Amino acid sequence: MSDYVIETKQLTKVYGDQTAVNAVDLHVKSGQIYGLLGRNGAGKTTIMKMILGLTSITSGEADVFGKNIKGQEKRVYPRIGAIIETPGFYPNLTGTENLEIFAKLRGTAAPNAVKNALEVVGLPYKDKKLFGKYSLGMKQRLGIANAILHDPELLILDEPTNGLDPIGIAEVRDFIKDMSASRGKTILISSHILSEIQLLADDIGIIDRGVLLEENSMSELEKKNSKYILLQVSDVSKAALILERQFQSKNYSVQDGQTLRLYDTSLDMAAINKALVLQDVAVISSGLCNGTLEDYFKKITGGEGIA
Amino acid sequence: MLLLARIEFTKLKRCNVYIVGIVTLLFSTLISVFQQMSLNEPIPHYGFYNLVNDTIWYNMCLFLPVTMIFLGGYMINREYTEDTLKNMFIVPVTYQTLICGKLIALAIMTMLYCGYSALVTILISATLFPEGLSLISSILEAGKIIIVGLCIYIAIMPVICWCCGRKNRFMAAAVLGFLYGFFGIPIAGHGLQDFYPITAGLTIIHYNGSTNATSSYNLGIAIAALLLMILFSSLILYFQSRTTNKE
C-alpha cells in the first residue's frame, strides 16, 4: 500500500505531436496541501484531469488512494471533491438547486449537506439568484461548495481562487488551510500565482512545459533557496565567462545587462570580486542576498517569471 | 437511472425550450384544420377520427421527429456548453448512464407532448368537427397518438444518440430528423411503412388515415424495425462512450 494519497509514475499526456505532460512523478502525502505551481499552459490541469480519469493517460500511471481510478470509479470518486478549470453548472438554476442535483446524484446522506456547503463558502442558501447571474467569484465559490458537499477526504482544486477578489482569495485560502489543518483533508491545489502556493502549500511541485522540474517540501525549498550572490558588473557576459572558467560555476542567472545572480553561495565572494577586477570587469556592487521562491522559479524554469 | 431522468426535468427548470414542442405539436392539429377548411370540396363528415388521423400523420412526418431530436440534442448539448460533464463524471455518473437518463426523460416528454397533442385535437374537434367524438373515442384515439409518438421516438433514438457524441451537433441532427420524418410520406405510400422505423408506429396502431397506406400491415416487421433502432442506439452509445468518458 502506497504512503501517498496521490502518486503518479511517469505520467505522460500527448496530444497529436505535442507533449502536454511529460513523465511526471507526483507524490501527494495524506493530510498535506500540495501546491502544483506553473505558468498557464504548463500542464497543471491536464495532470489533474489524468489523476481524476477525466482524460486518458498516454503512458504512465496515476494512483489515487493506492488504486488506479479506472474501473474503481464507484469506490474512489466518493472520496474525492474536485474543481477542474471553470465551475460548470446549469445557468437556469440557482446555486442551491445546482448543488441539490449533485447531492441527489451522490446520494449525500447528510440532510443539511447543501446548506452547510454553501455556508462554508459564504453563499446564501435558497437564494433566488440564478447561477447564470453569478459573478466569477460566486461561481468559483459554488464550485468549491460542490467539491466539499459530500465531505471528501481528498480535494483536487484547479486554480480555485481564479476570479475572486482579494478578500475572497484570503477567505478561500483560510478555508483550504482549515480543511487540511482541522479536518485532515488532503489537498492538491494548482495555481499560477506563486504567492498563493507559498502561503498555502506544505509541499510544492514546480511544473514547466509539462515537466515537473522540482518536487519538495516548502520548508526545504525555502531553506535551499534562501541565498544568492548578487553581482552588478560592467560586463555581464565577461563576468559569466570568468565564473565558468575560473570558478567552474554555471549555477547563475543573468538578470539584465549589468546584473547577475550567482546561486552557489559557497564560493568566495572576495575572490570573485578580485578575479573580475583583474580581468577588467568593473564591479559596481556585490553582496549576499536572500532569495525568494520567485527567484528560484525563474532560475529553474530558465529565467521566466511567474505572476 | 430513474433518478437521472427526474433530474433532467429539474435541469430544464425555467428553460423556454419546452415551448418548441408546445408550438410545433399545436401546428400538427392546426394544419389539419386549415387543410380541411381550405379544400374546395371538404371531406364529407370530416370528424374526430379524421382529425386524429391527420394529427398523427403530421406529427409523424413533420413535427415530432424534429422536435424531439431538437429537445434531446439541446439537453445533451448543454452538458457540453455549460461544462457540466466533468462534474457528472466524478460523481460518478458514466456517459452511458447520463444519456440513458436523458433518453428516459425524453420518452416521458414525448408521452406528455403527445398527450397534449391529443388534448388539443379533442378540444378542436369538440369545437369544429364533433362528429364521432365521445369520451371512449377520445381516450382510445389519445392512446393511439401517444403510442405512435413513442414509436416515432424509438425510431429517432439513434439520431439523438449520434448527436450526443460531439458538441453542437444537435442542429444538424434536427435537420436530419426532419428529413427522416419527411421521407416517411413516400415510404408509407409505397407499402414500406412496416420497414421504415418512423412509420412503423402506424402499423402498430393499424393506422388507416393515409389514402395511400395499405392495410397489409405486418406487425412483426414493424416491431423488429423498432427493436433494431434500440439496438442501433445502444451500439452508438457504446462506441461513443469509449471516447467521451475520457476526453
The interface predicted TM-score of the complex, written ipTM, equals: 0.83
* Distance (Å, whole) CA A22 – CA A47: 10
pLDDT at A1 over 70: no
Contact assignment for A90 to B78 by CB distance below 8 Å: yes
Instruction: Using pLDDT thresholds of 50, 70 and 90, give the confidence band for residue B65.
Output: very high
- Please give the residue of chain B at the shortest CA–CA distance from A156: B90
Q: Tell whether A85 lies on the interface with B, counting CB pairs under 8 A.
A: yes
pLDDT digits (tens, 9 = 90+) for A25-61: 999 999 999 999 888 888 999 999 999 988 989 999 9
* Minimal Cβ distance to B82: which of A55, A89, A104: A89
Share of chain A above pLDDT 70, in %: 95
Q: Tell whether A136 lies on the interface with B, counting CB pairs under 8 A.
A: no
- What does the pLDDT average to over A279-302? 80
Query: How many distinct structural domains can be found in chain B?
Result: 1
Residue B245: predicted pLDDT: 52
Burial class of residue B15, CB neighbours in 10 A (0-12, 13-18, 19+): middle
Return the sign of the alpha-carbon dihedral for residues A262, A265, A267, A271.
positive
Provide the domain limits for residue B87. Answer: 2-246
pLDDT digits (tens, 9 = 90+) for B158-175: 999 988 777 878 788 888
Contact assignment for A90 to B4 by CB distance below 8 Å: no
Query: Could you tell me which of A243, A299, A293 has the C-alpha nearest to residue A37?
Result: A293
Query: Could you tell me which of B144, B163, B165 has the C-alpha nearest to residue B51?
Result: B144
Contacts B85 to A, Cβ<8 Å = 88
Contact assignment for B84 to A88 by CB distance below 8 Å: yes
DSSP summary character for residue B94:
-
Min Cα–Cα distance to chain A from B236, Å: 20
Contact assignment for A101 to B7 by CB distance below 8 Å: yes
Contact assignment for A101 to B11 by CB distance below 8 Å: yes
pLDDT at B118 over 90: yes
pLDDT at A2 over 70: no
- What does the pLDDT average to over A155-167? 87
pTM of structure: 0.81
- Alpha carbon B134 to chain centroid distance? 26
- Cβ atoms of B66 and B24 within 8 Å: the answer is yes
Contact assignment for B3 to A104 by CB distance below 8 Å: yes
pLDDT at B215 over 70: no
DSSP sequence for A68-123 = ESTT-HHHHGGGEEEE-SS----TTSBHHHHHHHHHHHHT---TTHHHHHHHHHT-
Residue B227: predicted pLDDT: 95
A176 contacts: CB under 8 Å, gap ≥ 6: A33, A155, A157, A160, A187, A189, A200
- What does the pLDDT average to over A85-96? 91
* Distance (Å, whole) CA B68 – CA B70: 5
